[in-house]
Each structure stands twice: as C-alpha cells, then as structure tokens.
Homo-oligomer: A and B are copies of this chain.
Amino acid sequence: MCSIHYTNVLQQPIKQYIIETNKQIRIKDIAEKAHVSIGTVDRVLHNRGEVAESTKKKILKIVEELDYHPNILASTLASKKSAVFATLLPQPPSIEGYWNKPFIGIKKRIVELRQYGVQIQPFTFNQTESKSFVTESEKILELKPDGVVFAPFFKKESVKFIEKLNKQEIPFVFIDSEIKNVGQLSYIGQDSYQSGLVSGKLLDMIIPDGNILVIHFAKEMDNQNHLVQREKGFYDWFLNKEDNKHQLFTCEIANTDGTGWMKKIKEKIIRKKIKGIFVTNSKVFFIGRLLQKLNSSDIKVIGHDLLKENVEFLKKDVVQFLICQRPEEQGYNAINKLFRNIVQKRVIAKENYTSIDIVTKENVNYYKGFK
C-alpha cells in the first residue's frame, strides 16, 4: 500500500516525461495529415500570407490534436533573429563595487544566450548626477533595443524614461528597486522592508541592551527609496516588540571624502551609548574602518552585501552579519526574464523577490561563488 503511494509521488509522474520527450512532432507531420504543403501550415502558424478559412481551421485542429510544439532549436537556428537588450545601471566606483555584481550575472546569461543571437548594449550613469541618467536613457531610446534592464535610481527621471519606453513599446525590467505599476515586465530585487525587519531581529538578538544607530551612506535619500524601506522595517522590529530595551537613532552621511563624518559618528556613539550599528547599504566597510581605529569591540554591526571589504570585516568579527541579496543572480535573472518573454514569448512572473540571505563568518564562503 505504502509503496504504491510512494510510486505515485515520485516515479509515476516522470514516466510521463519519457513518453512526452520521445515524440517530436514536426510541421511536416501536420502538413501530411492535413493533405497540404508545409508552406501552408507555416502560414497558418505564423499568420502570414493568406490561407483559406477552411484549411486554416483544419490545420489548427490537427495542431491541437497532435499537441505540436515548435522545436526551438530549429526555430532560432533558421530565423536568425537577434534581440538586443540594453542595460542601464549605476557606474561602480571600482571593479569591486556593488554594481559590478549584477553585471557579472548579466554577462553570464548573455554568454549563454550567444547561440540565440541575443546581444547586449550596456549603459551606465553616475549615481551623483541625475543628468547622466537622462543622457544615457536617451541613448537607449535612440538605439531602440528589444528590451531594457534598468535600476530606477532617480524616480522623476525614471518615470519620464518609462513613458517613452511604453510609447515605443519596449519592454523593461526593474532591478534592485522598483516603481509600482508603470508597465514593467517584472521586478527583480529584494523586499527592502522585510530585509530591514530581519536586520532588526538579528541585531536585537545579539545585543542584550544598549542603543542602536542606523546609518545611511547616501547623497540624496529620496533617490534611494529602498534605504528608507529598510530603515522602516528595522524600526518596526523594535516598535512591535513588547518591552523593548533599545533606543534607536538615525544618521545620514552624504559625504565620505574627508574624515568629518567619522568625528560625527564617533561622537554620536559615545554620547548616545551606542552598542549596535545598522548600515542600510553596502557601505558598511566605512564603519568597519572606523571601529577598527577606535578599537572598540563591544559594538555589533550589521550591514548589506558581500563586497570584498565587507567580507573582510565579517571575517575579522568587526561586522557580525551581512544581509545579502545575490546581486549576480539578480542580473542573471533580469536578462533571463527578457529572454523568456521577448525571444521565447513566454509568460513570466511580475515579481521576483530575491531571498534575504543572512550571512555570517561561518557561512560566507558558500555565498561567494556565483554558479
């Protein structure tokens, strides 16, 4: 009895695959069965040329019956159609920068899709100049790509860009952050609010008491909506807790060029008796450097993203947790969404929230490689 049940669960369903896989119905088979030529079937399937209504019906019926699925290999081989995708991402300050990571994933998928004739044209903008975003986005519109992946970093400028994309009927996918309901094919990224909650829980767990400092390293906060969301989630963790022993403070650092910001934070740490720090983005290594200088090991730190420098501080126990969102995977998935929708014409999911990975010294090694 039991074994029958088991069999149903695992073995039966797959036998189907074997059978399904064996028969490849060709357009020729349909033609023969309908007593027409291949060309006629072709016209019916692609809505080109003219076909008598009666034969069209007959053919479609047979297509249904035989459950015909075109062979993608032969199809793309013959058509030689090549899609061009454009990407618009912030410029990473160096090869180690965060924004190089999604790009690694993008490259990987593009290389895999080379055979399908998919090409990519990357554009980058300067995170501190909305103007560069506009300039580059106009270049994209000029290029008229078949699809676009971009990070809607500057909201106002992005909305304008989107309007034009919609007018030109160019599908697009958001990566990293999103604008709701503006016609995007999909969004690839993290649920920022929820990741803030996770950060809150973790930091709460490791500091029994003492106050907490939330730090934004960002020029203009309104452009970085997801940093605000993360902060909100973080605060909410403590708000929703009965008998909360921590007090929270927030601090925005717009400029990290000199050492002015260090003084500011240092002072705040002492004055407010800070025992825990949450950095809302990948710039947590700044705090790592600071704490190393101060030589204070009783302050716990949590931040985002597996930048090389961040990982170093994680391994040195200066940073306790890094929240990570698998940016390479995001880039990979973004291109894949475009490919599946535009080239393969499949229906795809509107949202694709990346997992919120909790990374510590002990499991970091298994996050580093991107496969």
- Which residues from chain A sit less than 8 Å from chain B, CB to CB? 3, 5-7, 9-11, 13-14, 17-18, 20-22, 71-74, 76-77, 82, 89, 91-95, 97, 99-100, 103, 107, 110-111, 114-124, 126, 190-191, 194-195, 197-198, 201, 205-206, 208, 333, 349, 352-358, 360, 362-363, 365-367, 371
> Among the listed B13, B115, B357, B371, which residue makes an inter-chain contact with A73, where contact means beta carbons less than 8 Å apart?
B115
Q: Which residue of B lies closest to A366 (CB)?
A: B355
**How many angstroms from the CA of A91 to the CA of B117 in the assembled complex?**
42
Q: Cβ of A9: which chain B residues have Cβ within 8 Å of it?
A: 91-92, 94-95, 97, 100
In the complex, the answer to whether B366 meets A354 with C-beta atoms within 8 Å is yes
Using known A-B contacts A21-B114, A22-B119, A358-B358, determine if residue A10 contacts B103 with beta carbons closer than 8 Å: yes
**How many angstroms from the CA of A22 to the CA of B355 in the assembled complex?**
35
**How many angstroms from the CA of A191 to the CA of B368 in the assembled complex?**
14
**How many angstroms from the CA of A13 to the CA of B347 in the assembled complex?**
31
**How many angstroms from the CA of A92 to the CA of B93 in the assembled complex?**
49
How many monomers of this chain does the complex have? 2
In the complex, the answer to whether A100 meets B10 with C-beta atoms within 8 Å is yes
Q: Cβ of A201: which chain B residues have Cβ within 8 Å of it?
A: 360, 362
Q: Cβ of A107: which chain B residues have Cβ within 8 Å of it?
A: 13-14, 17
Having A9-B97, A71-B115, A73-B77, one finds 19 other A-B pairs with CB under 8 Å, namely A3-B91, A9-B94, A10-B103, A11-B123, A11-B124, A14-B120, A20-B114, A21-B82, A73-B76, A73-B115, A191-B366, A194-B362, A197-B362, A198-B362, A205-B206, A208-B208, A355-B357, A355-B363, A356-B362
Using known A-B contacts A6-B91, A73-B76, A357-B357, determine if residue A14 contacts B121 with beta carbons closer than 8 Å: yes
Q: Cβ of A365: which chain B residues have Cβ within 8 Å of it?
A: 194
**How many angstroms from the CA of A206 to the CA of B208 in the assembled complex?**
10
> Can you list 23 A-B pairs, Cβ within 8 angstroms, ordered by A?
A3-B126, A5-B94, A6-B124, A9-B92, A10-B99, A10-B124, A11-B122, A13-B107, A14-B122, A17-B107, A21-B117, A71-B115, A74-B77, A194-B363, A198-B360, A201-B362, A205-B205, A349-B371, A353-B366, A355-B357, A355-B367, A357-B358, A357-B363
Report the minimal beta-carbon distance from A100 to chain B, rounded to whole angstroms: 6
Q: Cβ of A18: which chain B residues have Cβ within 8 Å of it?
A: 119-121
In the complex, the answer to whether B333 meets A371 with C-beta atoms within 8 Å is yes
In the complex, the answer to whether B122 meets A10 with C-beta atoms within 8 Å is yes
Q: Cβ of A195: which chain B residues have Cβ within 8 Å of it?
A: 363
**How many angstroms from the CA of A77 to the CA of B72 in the assembled complex?**
10
**How many angstroms from the CA of A126 to the CA of B327 in the assembled complex?**
40
> Among the listed B5, B17, B118, which residue makes an inter-chain contact with A21, where contact means beta carbons less than 8 Å apart?
B118
In the complex, the answer to whether B366 meets A356 with C-beta atoms within 8 Å is yes
Report the minimal beta-carbon distance from A307 to chain B, rounded to whole angstroms: 14
Q: Cβ of A73: which chain B residues have Cβ within 8 Å of it?
A: 73-74, 76-77, 115-116
**How many angstroms from the CA of A234 to the CA of B93 in the assembled complex?**
40
Report the minimal beta-carbon distance from A113 to chain B, rounded to whole angstroms: 9
Residue among A13, A93, A119 with max Cβ neighbours from chain B (10 Å): A119
